[in-house]
Amino acid sequence: MNNKKKLVMIGNGMAGVRAIEEILNANPDMFEITIFGAEKYPNYNRIMLSPVLAGDTTIEDIILNEEQWYADNDITLHLGKRIKEIQRGYKKVIAEDGTEAEYDKLIIATGSNPFIIPIPGHDKKGVMAFRDIDDCDAMVEAAKTYKKAAVIGGGLLGLEAAKGLLHLGMETTVIHDQATLMNMQLDTVAGAMLRSELEAQGMAFKTSTLTTEVLGDERVTGLKFKDGTTLDCDLLIMAVGIRPNMALAKDSGLFCNRGIVVNDYMQTVTDPAVYTVGECAEHRGIAYGLVAPLFEQAKILAYMITGQGLKTYEGSVVSTKLKISGVDVFSAGDFMGTPGADIIELMDKVGGVYKKIILEDDKIKGLVMFGDTADGPTFFQWMQDRKDISEQRSTMLFAASGLGDAGHSGIDLAASMADQTVVCGCNGVSKKDVVDSIVKGGLTTRKEITACTKAAGSCGGCAGLVDQILASTLGTAFVESEHDPMCGCTELNHEQVKKQIKNKKLTMVREVMSVLDWKSEGCHVCRPAINYYIGMLWPQDSEDDRTSRIANEKMHANIQKDGTFSVIPRIYGGETTPDELIHIGKIAKKYAIPTVKITGGQRIDLLGVKKEDLTAIWKDLDMPCGYAYGKALRTVKTCVGSNWCRFGTQDSTSLGIHLEKQLDRIWFPAKVKLAVSGCPRNCAEATIKDFGIVGVEGGWEISTGGNGGVHVVVTELLCIVKTAEEVEQVAKAYLQHYRETGRHNERCAPWQKRVGLERIKALVVDDLDNRKALIERLDLYLAQQEKDPWVARIEDAKKDGLKIFSEYTPIDIPVRVES
C-alpha cells in the first residue's frame, strides 16, 4: 500500500481522465491517484455539449465517469478546486482553497481557454464563450429572457453553438471574418453548400465581416462592424478559437511556447516528473484541439509513466466532422489543393452532395465531403495509409448505397470495410477492434461496444457505422438482438412478443397490440411480424390479417416500380411441358403482357400486369401461385439429374419437384429457397440455398444456411442421408424449426449463424423424437393451408355480392363538366 507512488493530476477533463484510464488499464496498483478539477462535475464528454444545447441529448447522458468510478478506482477527487500553484521544488500542488497534495509524478491536463477578442465592450454582460456545462446552462437560461443572439466565429464550434441557440428559440446570426464558413476545413464550394443548408434551418450569416465593438451599457445590445453597420443582439457568443491553458505551468517555470512543451513521451521538456496531455500540450510545435490526437497522447503517456516501454507520440493527422443533425460534413488533410492539383470531384447540386478528393501520385492528400460522408472514414484511412487508389479512382465517389430489404439489409458499407480502417476517429478504434469485441465479448449492442472499446463514445459521429459493423458481424441477430425492441411501436423484442402470443393465446394482430400495450397502431415492421407469429403458433385458431401484409403479400403479386404487378406461377422444379408453355404464351398474348421473362429461379415471369387484371389472369392461367412475392417457399431449383445427365448419380429433378409440392403454401420468417443437384458438380447451385441437397453415390448430402443474395454465404453440411424420404423428413424438420425460432425477416443464413449449426443438428438430425414432433407440427399447419392463395382471392372476389367490388379494381368516376 505505502509503496505506491503518488500521482497527481491537474484538470479533470477528457484528455487527462483518459490518461488515467490508460494508466489503470496498464497497471491498476502502481499509483495512489489524486485529481483536481476546477469544474464541479466529474469527467464529461465536452464534445457533446453541442448536441446538449441542440436538445439532442442531456447532461446526464454525457457524463463519462461517474463519481462512483473514481471511488471504485481509489482515486481522490477534488471537484471545484482550482490549482493556483505548482511547487516543483517540494513536489506539491496547492489549490485556491488551500488544499495541498504531494506528488511523485504530476500530470497537467488543464485543457484550453476560449479566446475572447479584446474589442471594446467584450466584458459586458451577455458576452460569453462556449466551453463547459456552465456556459451551456447560461445559454439555456439567457434564451428564456433574450431573443436575439449573435455568434462571432463561423467555425465548427460557432456553428454548433448557433444551431443550439436556434433550437432554444433565439434568432441567431453568425458573424465570420472570412467569406467561407469553416474555412479551416472546407473549400468554397462545400462552405457555400453548408451555408445554404444552415440558412434553410433558420441561421443568418454575415461573412467577411470584422466586429469592432460590442455595444450596450451594462449588457450587450448590439455589435458594430468595421464597415460601420450594426446588428442588434442581446446575447453574444465568441467562438473564435482556443488558447492552451498554460499560465499555471509557466508560473512554475515549465517551458511554454504555444502550449506546455513536451517530448515524444508527453513529458515536459523541463521536468521529467511532470507530464502534460491534452489541449494544453504543445508537441512538435502543435497544440491539438480535437480529442482524437489527445487520446493518442494519453495512451503514450500511460506507456511511459507505467514503465511499459518506450512508445513515442509522432503527432496526428486529424479529420473533422460537424455535429449538426441533418448536415453531414467531413474534411481531412489538404482539402484545397494547390493550383493544377489532381482532383476528383462529384457534385450533385439537387441532391446536396459534394465530394472532392485531392490526389498526388494517386495517393489521397486531402478530402472534403458534404451531404454524403459515409465513406469519409475509409478515405481518411486510405489517406493515412498512403494507399495507391488508381484502381478505385473512377468509382470511389459513388457510394455503396443501401440495397434492398433482404433480411440483413444496409450492411454493405461496414462489410466491405478493411479490418484496419479506423471506425471511431476520436478514439482510434479500428473495424477489427469492434469486430473482435463483438465476437470475443459476445456483445450485441452499441452501448456494450462503446463500454468495451470506446468506439462512438466521444463525438458519436460513427455510431451508425458501429451499428452497421454490429449488424454485419452478427447478421440479423443484431437487428433484432435480445435487447432491441421489434420497432419503435413497442418495448418488446421478437422473442418476448412471440412468447406472449403463445402464453396468452393471442390470435389477432390488433389483440396483440392492445394486450401488449403497443404505442401506436403498429407499422410495416411489427404488424407483418405479429401476423406471422400468430399464424405460425396458432394455425388452427387464427386468420391471416391481410391489412398487416405488405403490398406484395397482400396482392399475391410483386409490385413493380410503375405500380403494375408481376405474375409468376409455379413450375415445379423448373420442369415444364410444351402444352404448359403454349398455355402461358396464349395468356401472355391475351393480356398483352409487355415482358415475359425466364427468371433466375427457373420459371416464367409475366411482368407489367395491371392490378385490375390480376384475378382474371390467375383464373385463366389456372396454375398454382408461385409465391414469388412472399416470405414463403420460392423455388426448388433442380438440375436434370440421373434421368438424362451422364454424370447424374441421383434423380434430383423428381426429388426437387416432390419437395416443392410438399413445402408449398407455407409462410416462413423470410423467403426460403431450395435446390437439388444430381451430383457434386452441383449445377443447381445447392450450396448457396437456404436448404441445399446434393446427390452423391448412394445418398444425399444436405447442407443448409446458404444465401446467394446481398452477402453470399455458402451452406454448412448438416448431414448425409440415404434416401429421398429422409431428405424430405430432414427438410421439413429443419424448416419447421426455422419457422418456430427464426425472427421475422431473418433468413436461414443469419438464423443458422445465430442459433448455431450444432444445435440445429442436435434437434433436427440426431433427436429423432424431436424431428418427428417438428414434422407433425408442420403437417398440422399445412392442413390449414390447403387453398392456393390465387384461388382464394378469385373466390373472395366472386363471393362479394357487390357489383363493382374487388379491391383489385379501381373505381372509375367519369368527369362531370360543370356547367
The binding site for another protein (CB under 8 A) comprises 326, 510, 520-524, 527-528, 546-552, 554-555, 559, 561-563, 611, 802, 804-805, 807, 810-813, 815-816, 818
Residue 488 beta carbon to another protein: minimum distance, rounded to whole angstroms = 11
Place of cell 500540450: 281
Rank residues 496 and 599 by Cβ distance to ligand SRM and give the closer one. Answer: 599
Q: Which three cell numbers stand for residue 454?
A: 470506446
| 675 counts as binding ligand FAD under rule CB under 6 A | no
Q: Select from 205, 159, 213 the least CA-distant residue to 221.
A: 213
Q: Select from 654, 616, 618, 627 the least CA-distant residue to 638.
A: 654
| 110 counts as binding ligand FAD under rule CB under 6 A | yes
CB neighbours of 309 closer than 8 A, spacing ≥ 6?
Answer: 303
Report the C-alpha gap between 625 and 575 in whole angstroms.
16
Three-state secondary structure readout of 730-753 = HHHHHHHHHHHHCCCCCCHHHHHH
What is the total residue count of the chain? Answer: 819
Rank residues 287 and 487 by Cβ distance to ligand FAD and give the closer one. Answer: 287
> Interaction with ligand FAD in 39-78: which residues (CB under 6 A)?
39, 46-47, 49-50
Three-state secondary structure readout of 682-738 = CCCCHHHCCEEEEEECCEEEEEECCECCCCCECCEEEEEECCHHHHHHHHHHHHHHH
Q: Which does 603 bind (CB under 5 to 8 A by kind): ligand SRM, another protein, ligand FAD, none?
A: ligand SRM
Phi then psi for residue 770, to 5 deg, are -65, -40
Residue 40 beta carbon to ligand FAD: minimum distance, rounded to whole angstroms = 10
677, β-bridge pairs = 694
Q: Decide: 235 and 220 in contact? Cβ < 8 Å.
A: yes
- Residue 701 has a CB neighbour count (10 Å cut-off) of 21
When binding is defined by CB under 6 A, the residue of 707, 715, 729, 736 that contacts ligand SRM is: 707
> Interaction with ligand FAD in 370-399: which residues (CB under 6 A)?
none
In this chain, which residue has its C-beta nearest to ligand SRM? 709
Q: Decide: 675 and 699 in contact? Cβ < 8 Å.
A: no
Rank residues 279 and 690 by Cβ distance to ligand FAD and give the closer one. Answer: 279
In this chain, which residue has its C-beta nearest to ligand FAD? 13
| 747 counts as binding ligand SRM under rule CB under 6 A | yes
**Angle of helix 133-145 relative to helix 156-167, nearest 10 degrees?**
40
H or E segment at 480?
Answer: none
Residue 29 beta carbon to ligand FAD: minimum distance, rounded to whole angstroms = 25
| 560 counts as binding ligand SRM under rule CB under 6 A | yes
Residue 10 beta carbon to ligand FAD: minimum distance, rounded to whole angstroms = 5
Rank residues 123 and 812 by Cβ distance to another protein and give the closer one. Answer: 812
Residue 690 beta carbon to ligand SRM: minimum distance, rounded to whole angstroms = 7
Report the C-alpha gap between 377 and 380 in whole angstroms.
5
Binding mask 385-404 for ligand SRM (x = CB under 6 A): -------------------x
What does the DSSP 8-state code read for residue 284? T
Residue 524 beta carbon to another protein: minimum distance, rounded to whole angstroms = 5
Report the C-alpha gap between 210 and 261 in whole angstroms.
33
> Interaction with ligand FAD in 23-42: which residues (CB under 6 A)?
36-39
Q: Which does 547 bind (CB under 5 to 8 A by kind): another protein, ligand FAD, ligand SRM, none?
A: another protein
| 426 counts as binding ligand FAD under rule CB under 6 A | yes
Rank residues 111 and 569 by Cβ distance to ligand FAD and give the closer one. Answer: 111
Q: Which three cell numbers stand for residue 106?
A: 504530476
When binding is defined by CB under 6 A, the residue of 32, 234, 375, 605 that contacts ligand SRM is: 605
Place of cell 466491405: 416
Report the C-alpha gap between 487 and 738 in whole angstroms.
22
> Interaction with ligand FAD in 177-216: which residues (CB under 6 A)?
none
Number of residues forming the site for ligand SRM (CB under 6 A): 24
230, β-bridge pairs = 224
Q: How far is CA 556 from the centre of its chain?
A: 33
| 483 counts as binding ligand SRM under rule CB under 6 A | no
Would you call 166 helix, strand, or coil by DSSP? helix
| 472 counts as binding ligand SRM under rule CB under 6 A | no
When binding is defined by CB under 6 A, the residue of 130, 335, 591, 790 that contacts ligand FAD is: 130
Q: Decide: 40 and 79 in contact? Cβ < 8 Å.
A: yes
Give the up-direction half-sphere exposure of residue 133: CA atoms within 13 A in the CB hemisphere: 16
Report the C-alpha gap between 274 and 107 in whole angstroms.
6
Rank residues 403 and 696 by Cβ distance to another protein and give the closer one. Answer: 403
| 743 counts as binding ligand FAD under rule CB under 6 A | no
Q: Decide: 482 and 510 in contact? Cβ < 8 Å.
A: no
Residue 614 beta carbon to ligand SRM: minimum distance, rounded to whole angstroms = 13
Q: Which does 92 bind (CB under 5 to 8 A by kind): ligand FAD, another protein, ligand SRM, none?
A: none
| 240 counts as binding ligand FAD under rule CB under 6 A | no
In order of 235, 267, 521, 569, 678, the CA distances from 449 in angstroms are 40, 32, 33, 47, 46
| 628 counts as binding ligand SRM under rule CB under 6 A | yes
Q: Which does 599 bind (CB under 5 to 8 A by kind): ligand FAD, another protein, ligand SRM, none?
A: ligand SRM
Report CA Rg, the chain. Answer: 33
Rank residues 368 and 497 by Cβ distance to another protein and give the closer one. Answer: 497
> Interaction with ligand FAD in 755-814: which residues (CB under 6 A)?
none
Rank residues 302 and 670 by Cβ distance to ligand SRM and give the closer one. Answer: 670
Q: Which three cell numbers stand for residue 547?
A: 391489412
Q: Select from 502, 501, 537, 535 the least CA-distant residue to 518.
A: 501
| 279 counts as binding ligand FAD under rule CB under 6 A | yes
Rank residues 46 and 527 by Cβ distance to ligand FAD and give the closer one. Answer: 46
699, β-bridge pairs = 696
Rank residues 422 and 686 by Cβ distance to ligand SRM and give the closer one. Answer: 686
By the criterion CB under 6 A, which residues form the site for ligand SRM?
Answer: 404-407, 558, 560, 566, 568, 597, 599-601, 603, 605, 628, 634-635, 637, 673, 707-710, 747
By the criterion CB under 6 A, which residues form the site for ligand FAD?
Answer: 10-16, 36-39, 46-47, 49-50, 82-83, 109-111, 130-131, 157, 160, 245, 248, 278-279, 289-292, 294, 323, 426, 459
